Chain A
Amino acid sequence: MKTIATYLGRTARKNVEQAIEAARANESYHALLHLTAERAYERAELVDNGKVTGRLAGVPFIVKDNYLAFDGPTTAASHILENFVAPLQATVVERLEAEGAICIGKANLDSFAHGSSTENSAFGPTKNAVDPTKVAGGSSGGSAVAVALDIVPFALGSDTGGSIRQPASFNGVYGVKPTYGMTSRYGVVAMASSTDVMGCFANTAEDAALVTEIMAGQDTKDPTTLPDFFEPVTSLSSLKIGVITDFMTEDTDAGVRSRVNEYIERLKANGHTVENVELPLAKYTLAMYYIIVPAEVASNLARYDGVRYGSRSKDAASIEELYGLSRDKGFVAETKRRIMIGNYVLSSGYFDAYYLKAQQARQKLIEQFDDLFSRFDVLISPVTPTTAFGFGENTDDPMKMYLSDAMTVGVSLAGIPALSVPAGMSDGLPVGVQLIGQRRSDATLLALARSMEAVS
């Protein structure tokens, strides 16, 4: 297992070479859509010449291909952006580069981050790092697999409803879903403006904490970012931890429950107190999510019309056809499904019944979390009800696929932070536990995960 420390103190060029070599050796997993080798070597030279220094000097990383980054296209794994070359870079990419980190490639994802398996990529799915016959999870599947395969020690993903946590869980790596507004969304292809957060994958909690610290902070280019608050936590006292029992029912695989329960026992052994709690609105979170998020998706994807950039249909005879054909060819089926659901819930006569009602329910959900956090420091649950599933297993039934997000979407709607922490295996596949905290408690969650790492 490679960590950031593995790469520090070596030449950046050597690190980049190794990472690119590892990426090529693992091409069969289809974790990456393309390499950014040319720029990576340029950056390596800057680091090796001492022109760029920092806490991640010469450390290679990979970004999900919905981050605008230099060298090659930013596709969001879609045909409509297949040849879109970004004229600028996402704020968090800039921050990592400023610390000497070197991006070596762009990771595969479900097209426009719509999905839970990376099967919705317009360029083919990514295979699970532990069992290539299983899905990588999604939507940040490529990033999770790249870290799990030790191509790079960390990678960036985006999490709108579980898109970092779920693939982290499926591949046995750490995944960080920050507090909404802690990391800048500037320069990342938007999915849902009110829940999108930028986070990372890493092999250790320590690495995840360092990368998160560098990514975090207010950004003048993203007016929804919060004033800086991330301060690494070094000493942790005994915490009050609540187990969300709604997510520990028979609907969750026994193997997953066992690993989570073992983790809970270790928490207790480590001096923390653990109690069962209820989140009564848990069962409605998927319904809320699949109203609010498609509405925002439909809106945020309206700009992809083939007029100014992106692929444009050559067969169009009118402007309406130009829109219709460009979007029909440019978007995958799941994207179209979400656009249709979103426009439906926003349409005149349905807005109040669906969108507004869902927003009201979301407010209640936030209140329930606030209430729990008035009594508990951390909540714990599985990340997903199952381990990684097989290719095609859920593709015919979108509802089944959406169930994979049941334990993660509520956290996204509430804008609170959560981690996916590796918690062992079930039938040869990784299981992740979800550590959930109150807004701005990101550093505490990372410190807890790190303290548990030490005793495992």
Chain B
Amino acid sequence: MNDWVMTIGIECHVQLATKSKLFSPADNDARDKEPNSVVHPIDYGLPGMLPLLNREAVNLAVKAAKALQAEVAKVSRFDRKHYFYPDLPMGYQITQMYHPTIGAGLVDAPMPDGSSVKVRIHHAHIESDAGKQTHYADHTLVDLNRAGTPLIEIVSEPDMHSPVEARAYCTELYRLMTYAGVTHGDLYHGNMRFDVNISVAKAGNDTLGKRAEVKNLNSFRSVEKAAEYEFRRQVELLERGEAVVQETRGWDDAKQKTTSQRSKEDAQDYRYMPDADIPPVILSDEEIESIQADVGMLPGDFRAAFSGLSLDSSVITTLLADKHHAELVYGVLQKAPEHAERVAHWFASVFKVADSDEGMVDLEANDGPTVDDLLTLARMTADAKLSSTSAKEVFLALVAGETDPETIAAERNLLQESDEGAIAAVVEEILADDASKKSIADIKAGNEKAIGYLVGQVMKRSSGKANPSLAQKLIREKLKTL
């Protein structure tokens, strides 16, 4: 296997977060709607209907271009891609074959090991989605709710060479598109779908092998797993002296394998042609600039901002899994940089799920903490009013929607005792206790670790409210006098 190199290129369909469809005023949110209940005559392909381009979709594409570090075409056009399918009402999909809105770009995707993979973007085009078919034993039902939903298809260059790189790219693409507000990013409802093209060739060989395309993957894990599987499958074929067939394959998540769907010989001739019903999209530099000015900080901006902090790359990855988390930590960083690392670690410890797709959580669903809440909590901790354990408890309460860290800490009796006199009294009691004798002897014999037991006893006696470092300091001072 080591003699073989894999090459991966990915096409990603991103559902745009518009209110209405790409060419009609119908509601773009088809989730949990009655079949065929959000279908306008335009989406239905009624005779005499003409597509009305939704400029909001164009604006989101222009924002996507910024996230992809890509040029926006001053003039872009729509084309028709023809094929017959019951869920394709007009007999053609409206797409951008010849003059896409988004040109070449670049995605610099961080890898788990702290390095990054640079993936060039060939282009990205706007297109409309088809409907959905449900097959039964003797009939098929068509639901056109999703027909006409706006998508952008982001086409990468074949710049990835491992399943981990493929996954890293898809994950970064997800972050870019959600951060830029291009998509809601609901993976469960297929807001982002990946078609992964994979080929293998002997190491050192300049020519790429025949590729297979695994279509319609909707999680980062399945992208990685499908790439791993295809690599093994294709290498095994080639090592047996057989050929890889250029074909479309599907991913069976239950069996964790890909299966053949159709070969190139069955490939359709889509008979692309310019769509004369849709005037060209013309964008001036000023328009592009003003649309893109609304794009907030992107993952790379946060990474740059956090790079000065002493944070592990896994912590940053966890933070960036949710834009809102990154924004909160960034907010703390802006107001009081000395507290940023502490707050970052709270998020990283609580949302330690970055390695799974489910790590993509949406904190905006509830109110959560504000930057000021986090600052207050950080200061309380720095001032030793809270132990680090208690601080995390308050943080969790904030995340759960409770408000005001001071109230939370007080109500839960978490505030820490930092009055030297009061703690000193407890220390005296503990040291006087017979049970402490062995530890005292051990410490005097040079076993520093034994102090832990004494600190623990002080904490216990004070119901956990004593400041442990203060307790330790006082124990040491007291021991010197014994």
Could you jot down 26 A-B contacts, CB within 8 Å? A87-B46, A90-B48, A186-B50, A187-B49, A189-B47, A190-B47, A190-B48, A193-B275, A193-B276, A220-B52, A223-B50, A223-B51, A223-B278, A223-B279, A224-B50, A296-B276, A299-B271, A302-B91, A302-B92, A303-B45, A307-B86, A307-B89, A308-B142, A319-B140, A348-B271, A355-B273
Cα–Cα, bound, A355→B89 (Å) = 25
Q: What is the 8 Å Cβ interface bit string for chain B, positions 243-280, against chain A (1 contact, 0 not)?
A: 00000000000000000000000000101110111110
Q: Which of B89, B140, B142, B276 contacts A303 (CB 8 A)?
A: B89
Residues of the A chain whose Cβ atoms lie less than 8 Å from the Cβ of B82: 298-299, 302, 346
Q: Are A224 and B80 in contact (CB under 8 A)?
A: no
Contact A223 B53 (CB under 8 A): yes
Bound Cα distance from A323 to B85, whole angstroms? 9
Task: Report the separation of the CA atoms of residues A296 and B51 in the bound assembly, to the nearest whole angstrom.
Answer: 15
Q: Is B84 an interface residue (CB 8 A)?
A: yes
Q: CA–CA, A149 to B25, complex, Å?
A: 43
Indicate if the CB atoms of B276 and A194 lie closer than 8 Å: yes
Indicate if B44 sits at the interface (CB-CB under 8 A).
yes
The answer to the question of A123 belonging to the interface, with a C-beta cut-off of 8 Å to chain B, is no
Interface residues of B (CB under 8 A from A): 41, 44-53, 80, 82, 84, 86, 89-92, 140, 142, 269, 271-273, 275-279
Q: Is A188 an interface residue (CB 8 A)?
A: yes
- B277 adjacent to A319 (CB under 8 Å): no
CA distance A301 to B84 in the complex (A): 11
Cα distance A221–B50 in the bound complex, in angstroms: 7
Q: How far apart sit A299 and B271, CA to CA, in the bound complex (Å)? A: 9
Complex partner residue of A302 from B47, B52, B90, B269, CB under 8 angstroms: B90
Expressed in whole angstroms, the Cα–Cα distance for A149 and B208 within the complex equals 72
| Cβ-defined contact, A76 with B50, below 8 A | no
Chain A residues in 8 Å Cβ range of B275: 193
| Across the A-B interface, the 10 shortest Cβ-Cβ residue pairs | A302-B91, A193-B276, A194-B276, A346-B271, A303-B45, A187-B48, A189-B47, A303-B90, A193-B277, A348-B269
What does the 1/0 interface line of A140-161 toward B look like (CB < 8 Å)? 0000000000000000000000
Determine whether A290 belongs to the interface, using a CB cutoff of 8 Å to chain B.
no
Q: Report the separation of the CA atoms of residues A351 and B272 in the bound assembly, to the nearest whole angstrom.
A: 9
Q: Is A81 an interface residue (CB 8 A)?
A: yes
Complex Cα gap A380–B372 (Å): 79
Residues of A within 8 Å of B271, CB to CB, are 298-299, 343, 346-348, 351
Output the least CB separation between A353 and chain B (Å): 14
A187 CA / B46 CA spacing, docked (Å): 9
Across-interface contacts of A301 in B (CB, < 8 A): 91
Known: A223-B52, A303-B89. A68 touches B47 (CB 8 A): yes
Q: Which residues of B contact A186 (CB under 8 A)?
A: 48-50
| B140 partner residues in chain A, CB cutoff 8 A | 319
Of residues 117 through 131 on chain A, the ones whose CB sits less than 8 Å from some CB of chain B are none
- The reply to whether the CB of A84 lies closer than 8 angstroms to some CB of chain B is yes
Other A-B pairs beyond A295-B273, A302-B91, 12, CB < 8 Å? A68-B48, A76-B47, A86-B48, A186-B49, A189-B47, A221-B50, A224-B277, A298-B271, A303-B89, A307-B86, A309-B46, A348-B269
**Chain B residue contacts of A298, Cβ below 8 A:** 82, 271
Contact (Cβ within 8 A) A307 B47: no
SS of B interface (majority): loop
Complex Cα–Cα for A84 and B44 (A): 14
Which chain A residues lie closer than 8 Å to B41 at the CB level? 87-88
A residues 398-453 near B (Cβ < 8 Å) are none
Q: State the CA gap A221–B24 with chains docked (Å).
A: 10
Smallest CB separation, B445 vs chain A (Å):
87
CB proximity of B140 to chain A, nearest CB, Å: 8
A285 within 8 A of B: no
Contact with B along A277-310 (1 / 0, CB 8 A): 0000000000000000001101101110101110
Q: Which residue of B lies closest to A112 (CB)?
A: B47
As a 0/1 sequence over residues 325 to 346 of chain A, the CB contacts with chain B under 8 angstroms (1 = contact) are: 0000000000000000001001
Task: Name which residue of chain B comes closest to A186, CB basis.
Answer: B50
Residues in B with CB closer than 8 Å to A343 are 271
Contact with B along A367-410 (1 / 0, CB 8 A): 00000000000000000000000000000000000000000000
C-beta contact mask, A172-193 vs B, less than 8 Å → 1, else 0? Answer: 0000000000000111111011
Contacts of A67 in B (CB 8 A): 48
| A305-B80 Cα distance, complex, nearest whole Å | 17
Tell me the chain A residues, 203-252 only, with Cβ under 8 Å from chain B: 220-224
Docked-complex contact A302 and B84, CB < 8 angstroms: yes
Report B51 CB to chain A, min CB distance, Å.
8
The docked-state distance in angstroms from the alpha carbon of A224 to that of B278 is: 7
In the assembled complex, the CB of B248 is this many whole angstroms from the nearest CB of chain A, namely: 18
When chains A and B are docked, how far (Å) is the Cα of A74 from the Cα of B46? Answer: 12
Cβ contact within 8 Å between A307 and B278: no
Complex CA–CA separation, A351 to B269 (angstroms)? 11
Identify which of A81, A192, A307, A347 contacts B142 (C-beta below 8 A). Answer: A307
CB A225 to nearest CB in B, in angstroms, measures 10
CA distance A347 to B92 in the complex (A): 14
Point out which of B51, B91, B275 has the most chain A C-beta atoms below 10 A from its C-beta: B91
A224 to B52, CA, bound (A): 10
B273 A222 Cβ-Cβ under 8 A? no
Tell me the complex Cα distance, A446–B325, Å: 68
Q: Which residues of B contact A87 (CB under 8 A)?
A: 41, 46
Which of A90, A188, A346: most chain B CB closer than 10 A?
Answer: A346
Q: Measured between alpha carbons, how far is A308 from B89 in the docked complex, in Å?
A: 8
CB < 8 Å neighbour of B276 from A224, A323, A348: A224
Give the docked Cα–Cα distance between A305 and B275 (Å).
Answer: 20
Q: Is the CB of A185 within 8 A of B276?
A: no
A305 to B44, CA, bound (A): 12
CB closest residue in chain A, given B144? A308
Q: What is the bound-complex CA distance between A295 and B82, given in angstroms?
A: 11
- Chain B residues with CB under 8 Å of A221's CB are 50, 52
Task: Point out the residues of chain A lying under 8 angstroms from B279, CB to CB.
Answer: 223-224
Q: Which residues of B contact A188 (CB under 8 A)?
A: 48
A88 contact set on B, CB distance < 8 A: 41
Given the contacts A308-B44, A309-B46, A319 and B272 also touching, CB distance less than 8 Å: no
B45 (CB) vs chain A CBs: closest residue: A303
Instruction: Collect the chain B residues with CB atoms within 8 Å of residue A194's CB.
Output: 276
B45 & A222 in contact (Cβ 8 Å cutoff): no
Q: Do residues A299 and B80 form an inter-chain contact, with CB atoms below 8 A?
A: yes
Q: Which residues of A contact B53 (CB under 8 A)?
A: 223
Shortest Cβ gap from B173 to chain A (Å): 30
With the chains together, A309 CA to B273 CA distance in Å? 25
Cβ A189 vs Cβ B48 within 8 A: yes
Minimum CB–CB distance from B383 to chain A (whole Å) comes to: 63
Contacts of B46 in A (CB 8 A): 87, 309
Q: Which residues of A contact B47 (CB under 8 A)?
A: 68, 74, 76, 81, 84, 86, 189-190, 303
Closest to B268 in A: A348
Which residues of chain A come closer than 8 Å to B90, judged between CB atoms?
302-303
Query: Separation in Å of the B384 CB from the closest CB of chain A?
Result: 66
Q: How many whole Å from A66's CB to the nearest CB in chain B?
A: 8
Residue numbers in A under 8 Å from B86 (CB-CB):
305, 307, 319
